[in-house]
Amino acid sequence: MQTNELVVAGVPVDGVTVLTLNRPEKKNALSIALRDEVTAALQRLAADETVKVVVLRGAGGAFSAGFDLEEFARAAEEPGLYERIWASGDPYHRALLEFPLPLVAAVGGVALGGGMDTAVLCDLRIAAADARFGHPEAAFGDVVYAPLHDLVGGAAARELCLTGRIIDAAEALRLGLVNEVVAPEQLLERTLAVAGTIARAPRELLMRTKAKIIARAGVPFTRTLDL
């Protein structure tokens, strides 16, 4: 197992590895450092021939509370920080969407703002019954729109991105935002089972299928992945 302060990457078992956002004291808020570590970890995993599927989860009781608002607050007084936030954020989003193998999110607790985006940019999402999704930053910042539109359709995506309304796991399932809802204590086990089913296919076949998914998404890479 590779461990550092912010990310834990497990050794692949039967082609499946688990990548954990490891900042539980901040509800896995996506600081510049955490995003950069995830981006680097995904690059390493993409090159690892033993990896077929990656499960992405959060440590503690949250998936991710989103971008680190303390960094945005400091940006008003710290020269260059705002630029660094976006210089980190855009490659992070791209690393998720263009990861060449299947990504499965295990979403427990809050998945807000950039945390919701992180889940949306994965290929499948298994949610715990206590999961919550939303874009509270809609009142003061950009949201990632296009991938959400692909999942839930224009009417729902517009409403969620314009109002910032937070929804529970049951509504997320009805909208098609998540694929399945399970009890919190079953979340990791069930997500690993889904990942294991995917990993029965040869790695080369999974990469070809994922390439089709990426091509079909057709998301232009400007700020927050949208025009």
| Catalytic annotation, residues | 137
Closest Cα partner for 63 from 101, 119, 15? 119
Beta-sheet strands, E only, within 22-161: 53-58, 103-107, 110-112, 124-128, 132-134
Three-state DSSP class for 65? Answer: coil
User: Environment class of residue 27 by beta-carbon count within 10 Å: exposed (0-12), middle (13-18) or buried (19+)?
Assistant: buried
Helix (H), strand (E) at residue 17 = strand 16-21
Radius of gyration of the chain (CA): 16
How many other C-beta atoms lie within 10 A of the C-beta of residue 132?
Answer: 22
Torsion of CA 138, 139, 142, 145, to 10 degrees: 20
